[in-house]
Amino acid sequence: MYRSNPTSANCESAGRTVVMAVRNTCVTDARVMKEAATLTRAGWRVTVLAIHQPGDTVREEERDGVIVRRLTRLIHRLPRRPRRRVSAPRPSSPAPSGRTASAAAPSGRIRGLSTLVRSFLLWLDRRWIDGLFFWEAWRMRPDRFHAHDVNTLAPLFLASRLRRRPLVYDAHEISADREGWSHSRLWHGLEKQLGRRSDGFITTNETRAAYFRKQYGLERVSVVRNVPPLADVTDDGRLHRALGVGRDTSVLLYQGGLQSGRGLSLMLEAFAGVEGAHLAVIGFGRLRPSLEQEAARLGLSDRVTFLGRIPHEELLAYTAGARAGLQLLENTCLNHYTACSNKLHEYLMAEVPVIASDLPEMRRVVEETGAGRLVPPGEMGAVRQAMREMVGNREEWIQMKESARRHKHRYHWGLEEPTLLKLYGMSANRMEAKS
């Protein structure tokens, strides 16, 4: 599944064990599985601890030699708190009667209590998962611990110190300033205190590495880019078949999480002004129902298709059928400002030109390759114009597609494997020195 750099094997580590932890189901987390697969090919025995989703995942499975063990949450799913359907009284309305007022007061207290109970249950569930991560990692007695993102750092740090084994910390994001995350000071303090005491610190690009060095006073932050394996991908028509359109239809593609801050509503609004094309959305997330409603409101229901989750093994084959790939992150937080996601590189690997937000890391890739267009974040008119040109200017599109083909070898996982394996050797040496 993952193409290995044949020179990266490290036979000296044969038989050693690694426990990783990631706070998701590890079904579509390509970065975690790429790192685990690289270590497995190098002779390590890797177990990934993840979250079990009843009805959607199995509790334990083996994928390309990697054991994925999923832990069951204390609370699987809380029902959504119902919205009030009674409109607020107009200013001119008479004051409510005493009977109505007395009836309304308890409901307000109940709603407040309900919110408080929900918050407590969610907090309890998070601590439960922390405890499971710690217990499973500690009892397995691995030779290395590997924490993916700050929300697994504390339990694995504790387990690693009790077992006196090295810990590698992999910061996928800047969690102290991240869309949808609260308690930024808490995450900043936790990451600063524990991340700097880890035996290896990894992040995804140079901009983020510079941030972590400055904020936490770190001398060494290793960069392991979030790029796909090198692959030759051909368009076999499966994207067009899934959409139910002819091969001559230009398809603009978004793939990734359906989450806030990713320019998804703007994408739909911009696409409403593009003729002769279809928009495909691959991914899942809580925004899907509202995005489907927005597409219907704009009269796009017959030109926008939400394909949901596609198995990662098949994803690039779908991607290859697109006219252009969309990566329209909004500049809403430092995490977005510094991002250059795996999805952008997947577009390039499939030789698909991109329309990307003009943010530092994405600008670097687009300018280095010439394989796409940059648009100011959040500017709908610029996005619409870029879409129109991708669909209508065939000669320029062919040039960008050829640029993607020529440059994709600069952005593939085989180039990142030596850094990861070297770090594992260094982390062992550092821990031995501390002992």
Confirm or reject CATH 3.40.50.2000 for domain 238-411, answering yes or no.
Answer: yes
pLDDT at 223 over 60: yes
The angle formed by the CA atoms of residues 107, 110 and 113, to the nearest 5 degrees, is 155
At 51, is the pLDDT very low, low, confident or very high (cuts 50, 70, 90)? very high
Report the C-alpha gap between 366 and 380 in whole angstroms. Answer: 20
pLDDT of residue 100: 42
Strand partners, 375: 357
The pLDDT of residue 88 is above 50: no
Instruction: In whole angstroms, give the CA distance from residue 310 to residue 292.
Output: 18
DSSP assigned state of 409:
G
DSSP secondary structure letters along 249-303: SEEEEEES---TTS-HHHHHHHHTT--SEEEEEE---TTHHHHHHHHHHTT-TTT
HSE, CB side, 13 Å, CA atoms: give it for residue 146: 30
Task: Give the model's confidence band at 431: pLDDT under 50 very low, under 70 low, under 90 confident, else very high.
Answer: low
11-77+122-224+416-434 matches 238-411 in fold? yes
Question: Looking at 98-107, 252-261, 322-331, which range is the least confident one?
Answer: 98-107
Query: Is residue 110's pLDDT more than 80?
Result: no
pLDDT above 80 for 90 = no
Fold (topology level) of 11-77+122-224+416-434: Rossmann fold (3.40.50)
Domain ranges of the chain: 11-77+122-224+416-434, 238-411
pLDDT band for position 112 (50/70/90)? low
Share of the chain above pLDDT 70, in %: 85
Average pLDDT, the chain: 87
Q: What is the pLDDT of residue 340?
A: 87
Is the model's pLDDT at 43 over the cut of 60? yes
Q: What is the pLDDT of residue 434?
A: 53
Looking at the predicted structure, is the pLDDT value of residue 12 above 60?
no
